Chains A and B, each alone.
Chain A
Amino acid sequence: MILSLSWRNIWRNKTRSLVVLSAIALGLWGGVTSMALINGWIKQRTNDIFRNELSHIQIHSPEFLLNEEVDKLFAFDSVQNVLKAIPDIVGYSGRLKLFAMAQSDRANSGMYLLGVNPEDEKNISGIPESIMLGSFLEGSHRIPSLVLGKEAAEELKLVNYEITDKVIECFAERDTTLTKYLSSLSGKQFRSRSALVNELKHSLSNEKHNRWIDAIVDSSARYRLNSAVFFTFQTPQGEMQNAMFRVRGVYRTSNSSFDSRMAFVNINDLASIANIESNHVHEVAVLCSNYENANQIAKSIAEKIGHLEVRSWGQISPEIKFYTAFGDFMGLIYVMIILFALAFGIVNTTMMSVLERYREFGMLMAIGMNRFRVFSMIMLESVLLTFTGGILGLLFSAVFIKIFEISGIDFSVWAEGFEAIGYSPVVYPHITVSNYVVIVLLVILTGILASLWPARKALRLNPMQALRIE
């Protein structure tokens, strides 16, 4: 009955309680959604890092890790036999990794040249799925194929920009003056992004320029597939080698920095050009069925191949662990700040409720309700109020998160900024059951803490005096 009494006491003043409940529900909705967005970004970034950049485990010669010297190779066969026998491994890929200077007909840039087996790479990497133009090292060609990142292609000026009718059509319904202006540029070609940006900057207002520039540039980009790119790199024998490749694919990940420094070629082509013994690699990347088991699997691999350095993602990039922990921590800090602010409202409501019922508390104490029970009743009221608001807030959040977990929230307006720091502009909010459990516990704790002051006030009552209060 104490529980039922506490619940009914909350509804003595419906308006007051509903205001506090709404505040708690909305506050928590905001806090939990922020937490889910942070988690979503981090999860996505972590997945991207695993799929596109690190994999879960990497195997190198220990000497290669010191200076990335080209001659520190090892035989892929011996490692392959060990990896095949471990059931938790989804896939693996042997790679050659050379630092090279790339030169196109218009520009040059430094980048890593990764020699990969396209079929193996498809099992472990997201790059083949991130191809925006052309293909990922498919087919056989006299001049070996090259896959560049979008940024690298732009740096090497392998992109022309042209305002075509299709581009003009894209903006026809959005802005008429812009469409008119773009029509005047119809057919004109620009050899670099900066040339087009400068042209638009002179003719468009600041507001229009800031609003439309990325969309215009992206839609008018024409990548020059099949262009030749020369790479200069050192062979394991210490000689400088030149080789020509043709661009047959352009990829784009959420990390523009990665896209600017990683170029992919077929491992056999690179081995032959760089005079590297067949079946020898600099790196083996391994993908596990669950990234959380990577450390255990890495240890098990290391035990079987003692001469190589086997590192899990946590050892290669410890900051990822920090991101995840930090994301959870930041989310909780948000929720705690919100609950702290809400606690003042809860204290106020509970205090008003206690002050209005002094005589009732006096009666209850007189007839034999001890102070512990009075305290419990007030605490229960505060906890029930907070908990109800909290559950409503969590329900709103759960529905919101469920909807956008699938469709994602599009922050494309700031796409360039997001991609520059390696994050996708479309975020899929994500929250775990343990996050919900921690939040529910925090909500209950807030309810308990918020009840302490009003309860103390009631406990100090003298029943005889309280009964006289009108």
Chain B
Amino acid sequence: MAIIEVVSLDKIYNDSAVEVTALKNINLSISSGEFTAIVGPSGSGKTTLLNLIGGLDYPTSGKIRVGDVWLNELKGFRLIDFRLHNIGFVFQSYNLIPVLTALENVELIMQLQGVSAKERRKRATELLHRVGLGDRCDSRPSKLSGGQQQRVAVARALASKPKYILADEPTANLDGKSTETLLNVMEELNRDEGVTFIFSTHDQRVINRARRVVLLEDGYINSDTFN
């Protein structure tokens, strides 16, 4: 059974005088353990689709099912709580909290979940080791490179034991070496632990490593290819 089911999804923005159709009749099914890239030119609707799958926005019409929950029907605290326990996020500009150490950044989400201090410290340490930053637990983000910060962000996303991780342009701010390291880490996590990754990207290096590529153009799915 698919972990994510998107059915006849439309998203139209009415914020300005001009009505903008960002997504039109999207049907998409993503299974557990996928390593999927959503690609397309700027304005094609990649981030909009990711936001909808991430429960950060509501569709104009259509439905999104995650597991056995219809995401589009959740509101307020229930939606926030759903995100907390089911979805991991990796952002383009890392968005780590500068006053916390790498370890504390990873621990924060577990604290929100109510995990005990001992357990969250143990898991955060393990995750940082897993992404190759076991020796940087006590470093603040300002002391880490962009690539290292993004790996901390991946560890943070994993900390909540989510059903899937959404990564919006995760390599956009990274150099080639850092991108390579990050992709290796994510690929290993996907291969060895079955973590589901969904990226929005137009970085060819990411596209080359993805096992499924969904191409969006003008809000439509132009192609859906499995490598």
Contact = CB atoms under 8 A, between A and B. Distances in A.
B57 A1 contact: no
Contacts of A359: 93, 95
A464 B160 contact: no
A467 B91 contact: yes
Contact of A369 (B98, B112, B156): B112
A352 interface: no
A8 B108 contact: no
A366 B165 CA distance: 13
Range, interface on chain A: 20 to 34
Interface in B90-147: 91, 93, 95, 97-100, 104, 107-109, 111-113
A8 B99 contact: yes
Interface string A344-375: 00000000000000011001011111110100
A373 B98 CA distance: 19
Contact of B83 (A2, A368, A467): A368
Given A1-B107, A463-B56, A464-B56, A367 B89 contact: yes
A246 B54 CA distance: 101
Contacts of B84: 367-369
A334 B33 CA distance: 66
A268 interface: no
A359 B100 CA distance: 16
Contacts of B12: none
Interface string B162-173: 000000000000
B57 A365 contact: no
Contacts of B156: 367
B85 interface: yes
A12 B97 CA distance: 11
B46 to A, nearest CB: 14
B32 to A, nearest CB: 21
A5 interface: yes
Interface string B45-85: 00000010010110000000000000000000100110111
B225 to A, nearest CB: 28
Contacts of A8: 99-100
B91 A363 contact: yes
A9 interface: yes
Given A464-B51, A464-B56, A363 B95 contact: yes
Given A1-B108, A8-B99, A363-B91, A370 B77 contact: yes
A27 B83 CA distance: 45
B97 A368 contact: no
Given A366-B89, A368-B160, A464-B51, A12 B98 contact: yes
A279 to B, nearest CB: 80
A360 B156 CA distance: 14
Nearest to A463: B56
Contacts of B95: 359-360, 363, 467
A2 B108 CA distance: 9
A369 B111 CA distance: 10
Which of A9, A12, A368, A463 has the most chain B CB atoms inside 10 A of its CB? A368
A140 to B, nearest CB: 83
Interface in A422-470: 463-464, 467
Contacts of A360: 95, 97
Nearest to B95: A363
Nearest to B86: A368
B52 to A, nearest CB: 10
A448 B56 CA distance: 30
A99 B191 CA distance: 108
Nearest to A8: B99
Contacts of B99: 5, 8-9, 11-12
A464 B57 contact: yes
A370 B81 contact: yes
A462 to B, nearest CB: 8
A367 B109 contact: yes
A5 B100 contact: yes
Contacts of B54: 366
B108 A368 contact: no
Contacts of A9: 99
Contact of A366 (B81, B83, B108): B83
Interface in A368-395: 368-371, 373
B98 to A, nearest CB: 7
Contacts of B85: 368
A368 B104 CA distance: 16
Given A9-B99, A463-B56, A464-B57, A1 B104 contact: yes
Interface in A1-48: 1-2, 5, 8-9, 11-12
A466 to B, nearest CB: 10
Given A368-B85, A369-B112, A370-B80, A5 B97 contact: yes
Contacts of B57: 464
A427 to B, nearest CB: 46
A464 B56 CA distance: 6
B111 A1 contact: yes
A200 B98 CA distance: 74
A452 to B, nearest CB: 21
Nearest to B57: A464
Contacts of A373: 112
Contacts of B107: 1
Contacts of B56: 366, 463-464
B80 A368 contact: yes
A368 B100 contact: no
A459 to B, nearest CB: 12
Interface of B: 51, 54, 56-57, 77, 80-81, 83-85, 89, 91, 93, 95, 97-100, 104, 107-109, 111-113, 156, 160
Interface of A: 1-2, 5, 8-9, 11-12, 359-360, 363, 365-371, 373, 463-464, 467
21 contacts: A5-B97, A5-B99, A8-B99, A9-B99, A12-B99, A359-B93, A363-B89, A363-B95, A366-B56, A366-B83, A366-B89, A367-B89, A368-B84, A368-B85, A368-B109, A368-B112, A369-B80, A369-B84, A369-B112, A370-B80, A467-B95
Given A360-B95, A367-B89, 9 more contacts: A1-B104, A1-B111, A2-B111, A363-B89, A366-B54, A367-B160, A368-B81, A368-B160, A369-B112
